[in-house]
Amino acid sequence: MRSSNRQVYGLLAAVFAFCGVFTALILATQYWNSNENIAPGELKTLTQLPADPTSHKAGYFDQYISVNADGSWAVTVPSSLDTGVPLRRSDGLEFSIDRGEQIEITTSGLVNIGRGLVGPEGEPGYYDATIDGPFADHVGGLEMWIGPVKGANRFLVGPHLLRRFDYSGVPTLRVIESMHGYTDGNTGSFRATVRKR
């Protein structure tokens, strides 16, 4: 009887080991594929995988972006859009930040992500550990990242941001929410004006 228990335990151990190796191979493949166009020394971790704005049809984000006569960009950031809104239009026009430039963003509006209305600074006194970034204590607020990698170069925008950036790239604006929360009935949006100073 002890011999058959050892065989069962051995078989179970082999099955679990195989499943673990299989899962590790899948994760390694995803990681490898996500980093194939990144220069050495700039590899991302799995938590830094970019939101995939290409999953939307060409021109999808144009509905959220307009360029004002003074060159500033007016951006509507819906609370239900997990990819955020990259400041790039389908006609090739983009708001690109160059390292050392000073950018100003002013934001208005209210969103409801299930806990009442909040402004661009996020809900005060609330912390959500399921947020995929550094602003878990600003749930419902407005954040941005610069460049294609969501996990890098992230900044809290709030109602007003005036800052000189050490990074180059196209910014993406997004409401701070848990990854499963974007599809559970969020309402409202922020209206941001983005300009170079």
pTM of the predicted model over 0.85? no
Amino acid at 196: K
Q: Are 142 and 77 spatial neighbours (Cβ–Cβ below 8 Å)?
A: yes
Assigned fold of 53-196: Jelly Rolls (2.60.120)
For the chain, the structural domain boundaries read 2-48, 53-196
Residue 40 is predicted with a pLDDT of: 42
Query: CA-CA distance, 147 to 86, in Å (whole number)?
Result: 9
Residue 57 is predicted with a pLDDT of: 73
Query: CA-CA distance, 103 to 53, in Å (whole number)?
Result: 23
Which residues fall within 8 angstroms of residue 79, CB to CB, at 6 or more apart?
111, 112, 113, 140, 175, 177, 182, 186, 187, 188, 189, 190
Q: What is the pLDDT of residues 5-14, one digit of tens each?
A: 566 555 545 5
Residue 172 is predicted with a pLDDT of: 97
Q: What is the pLDDT of residues 60-98, one digit of tens each?
A: 999 999 999 999 999 999 999 999 999 999 999 999 999
Q: What is the pLDDT of residues 32-61, one digit of tens each?
A: 344 334 344 443 333 333 344 445 677 899
